[in-house]
Amino acid sequence: MTFLEGQKKVMTAANKRICVGEITSAHGVRGFVKVRCFGDDPETLVKYDLYTSEDGAGIVHLDLKHMAGGALVAEIEGIADRNEAEKMRGTKLWVDRGALPDLEDGYYHADLIGLEARGPDGAAIGTVISVQNFGASDLLEIKPESGKAFYLPFIDEYVGDVDLAARTVAVDIPEGLR
């Protein structure tokens, strides 16, 4: 495991990182960990360099072992005991956006950050500042020009066309949500 402390990387659209998983706990006594994968393909966790922060240089390499209780069990290169594995609890795993394949008919949540949210009449409502999921479904966090940011459920009823080329997303905000 390699950690280069104190080095910062300037984030641009080309090198933006996407969070693809999180180490949730240690597993057993040999240094294995449980990992929650945020994507559809757990192989993402072994195909690419995994960074331990959104903008740092620390990298980990995983070897997926098996499933246990709905979580992936993995070995981290260089970690050989439970105490070291416990120190990794809560570590988010990031992949450079540029390393991931482009999606033919879709987009990554990270691609939505910075899009302008526009209402049914085409008027600007605000900017998407994050995509969250607190357990039920995805939510767009939208920051209007003035006032507090708010969450909009990322469902067909409220979110329409996403146009990455135009950097816009069509939204229909229900009464009382904002």
CATH number at residue 22: 2.40.30.60
pLDDT at 135: 76
Predicted TM-score (pTM) of this structure: 0.71
Same domain for 21 and 86, yes or no, is yes
Domain of residue 153 covers: 109-171
pLDDT at residue 5 tops 90:
no
Same domain for 53 and 86, yes or no, is yes
Cα separations in angstroms, 32 against 19, 39, 80, 98: 21, 21, 8, 29
Same domain for 94 and 114, yes or no, is no
pLDDT tens digits, one per residue of 7-51: 233 333 445 888 999 999 999 999 999 999 987 788 889 999 999
Residue 23: name the closest of 10, 12, 38 by CA: 38
